[in-house]
Amino acid sequence: MSAGDLAPPDCSHEGCITCGDEALPLTVRRIDAERGLALCDDEAGRAETVEIALVGEIAPGDTLLVHAGTAIAHIGPATGVAA
C-alpha cells in the first residue's frame, strides 16, 4: 500500500459536498432515462453520474443541484444559482 492510499482526501478547501449541507450546480450532458441516470459536468468540465429520480423532466443543458450523486433540485436551463 502506498502512502498515497492512506492520505486523507483533499476536501479541506471547499468543504466536503457529500458530508456537509452543500450541493453543487451541475449541467446535464446526457440522459439515460431507462436507468434513471444523467451524465453531468461542472464548470471545470469534471463529469459525474447523477441520479435523476427526484427531479422532474430534464433536458441536456439544464442545471441540477446535486448532492452526493443525486439531483435534489432542478434549477432549470436559464436560472443561475449560487449553491
Partner 1 sequence: MSMKFVEEYRDAELGRALSAQILSEVEPGRHYKVMEVCGGHTHSIYKYGVDDLLPENVELVHGPGCPVCVMPMGRIDDGIAIAEQENVIFTCFGDMMRIPGSDGSLLDAKAAGADVRMVYSPLDALRIAKQNPDRDVVFFAIGFETTAPSTALTLKRAKAENVPNFFCMCNHVTIVPPLRALLDSPDLRLDGFIGPGHVATVVGARPFEFIPADYGKPIVVAGFEPLDVLQSIHMILDQIAGGRAEVENQYARVVPYEGNTAALAVMEEVFELRPHFEWRGLGFISQSALKLSEAYAELDAELRYEVPGVRVADPKACQCGEVLKGVIKPWECKVFGSACTPERPIGTCMVSPEGACAAYYNYGRFARDREVV
Residues at the contact surface with partner 1, assessed by CB under 8 A: 1, 5-6, 8-9, 11-23, 25, 27, 36, 43, 48-49, 51, 53-55, 63, 65, 67-70, 72-73, 75, 79-83
C-beta of 29 vs 83, nearer to partner 1: 83
SS3 43: coil
CB-nearer residue toward partner 1: 23 or 31: 23
Rounded Cα distance, 82 and 79, in Å: 10
> Closest separation between CB of residue 27 and partner 1, Å?
7
* Residue appearing with cell numbers 453520474: 49
Nearest to 55 by CA among 39, 74, 41: 74
Rounded Cα distance, 81 and 65, in Å: 9
Q: Of 29 and 75, which has the nearer Cβ to partner 1?
A: 75
